[in-house]
Amino acid sequence: MAVYMIQTPIHTVQFEAFATEQLKQHGYRITQPRKAIMAFFASTDAPYSAYEIQAAMAAQGTAMDTVTIYRTLECFETLHLLHRVPSGSRYVRCHTQCSETNKAHARHYLLVCERCDDITEISDSIPRELLRHLENTTGFSLGDKAIEVRGECASCQS
């Protein structure tokens, strides 16, 4: 399972440094559970649910209750460090540096392959134009969260 992106990528090592900086800037403590989940997502591009994270942590010898995991995931999502993939309530690492000062990347589009479960993350102006059209024609105001679009990736089509 791979996650691809269009825009400036945030690499694995940078993710942990960027996440730590964002937590500090917003007044959050750098707790052991936050560090563990930060390191977990820095090491993977795949989406995971809270229960899958709990099982992976347990396999590494780190016990963590699901409430702590959910609170950490919520915190990371609020800081735009992770995106929630609505189908399956999974979370995936943000591959662009989102922050309060970098609003250009506030809305992300997750293209999820229904066959192989790969995720392509994009944040560019083409989908924004489409969504702006939807807002104008329907009067519906979209939020700044990740938007999931399901279909079939190029690899699965061939």
Half-sphere exposure of 12 (CA within 13 A, CB side): 9
Q: Answer yes or no: are the C-beta atoms of 40 and 56 closer than 8 Å.
A: yes
Alpha-carbon distance values, 153 to 1, 26, 85, 89, 140 (Å): 12, 37, 17, 21, 29
Which phi and psi (to 5°) does residue 47 adopt? -80, 145
Tens of pLDDT along 9-67?
445 568 889 899 999 999 999 999 999 999 999 988 888 999 999 999 999 999 999 99
- Whole-angstrom Cα distance, residue 97 to residue 81? 8
3-state secondary structure at position 3: strand
Among residues 40, 80, 75, the alpha carbon closest in space to that of 59 is found at 40
- Size of the chain, expressed as the number of residues it contains: 158
Place of tokens 């993977």: 44
Tens of pLDDT along 85-111?
877 789 988 876 654 444 444 566 788
Q: pTM of the prediction?
A: 0.72
Enumerate domains of the chain plus CATH numbers.
Answer: 3-157 (1.10.10.10)
